[in-house]
Amino acid sequence: MKAHTHETQSTITPEKALEFLKEGNQRFVNNLKANRDLLEQVNATREGQWPFAVVLSCIDSRTSAELIFDQGLGDIFSIRIAGNFVNQDILGSMEFGCNVAGSKLVVVLGHTKCGALKGGLDAAQIEGLGMDNLNHLINHFDPIIKHVIEDGEERSSKNSDLLERLNHQNVKSAIEDIRKQSSTLRKLEEEGKIKIVGANYDVETGAVSWL
């Protein structure tokens, strides 16, 4: 498979971009990598890049978007932050990817057994470790935890059902934030030029489910 060019990118619809990722994950799960000459892709992308999708995922070492979607050099913009949430800088990166570089799809990719979300559930213990910036990060999830936790339910990373509900809601909240906080991306989506979708990666099976 060759790297995308401006011409091939321009023919990709948001629906086709999503299909590319679904097909790529199916290859990954079945251990069937697409045949790529990576050095040729290096040469082909020397003068520019034309990725078809922007993927926001966690920094978890098991969730490399290029690998789990079986994509090559120049195919996707990969944005990573613990807990796959958005802030102004990430939104700016997404706006660049779609409105400047021409990507047709934004994916917010959560994953099972997320350590950042576990930290949010166990915030009291984490805060006791004295890591100021990590404390700031995990506190981002507190409003979402309060939204999904039920009366009397144990707030703990050991509560696997709560953790998975939090994971799904965190993806949905990130998508809501993208639409609310970026008029650029919202307008592109309303015009049908991009899609904004959520997904969940299972660290036990390698499979991506689409929310």
Which residue positions form the known binding site for Zn(2+)?
58, 60, 111, 114
70 within 8 A of 34, measured Cβ to Cβ: yes
Closest CA to 83 of 145, 144, 138: 138
198 within 8 A of 107, measured Cβ to Cβ: yes
Residue numbers in the known binding site are 58, 60, 111, 114
Closest CA to 78 of 105, 55, 51, 59: 55
170 within 8 A of 116, measured Cβ to Cβ: no
Furthest-apart CA atoms within the chain: distance in Å? 58
Q: One-letter amino acid identity for 155?
A: R
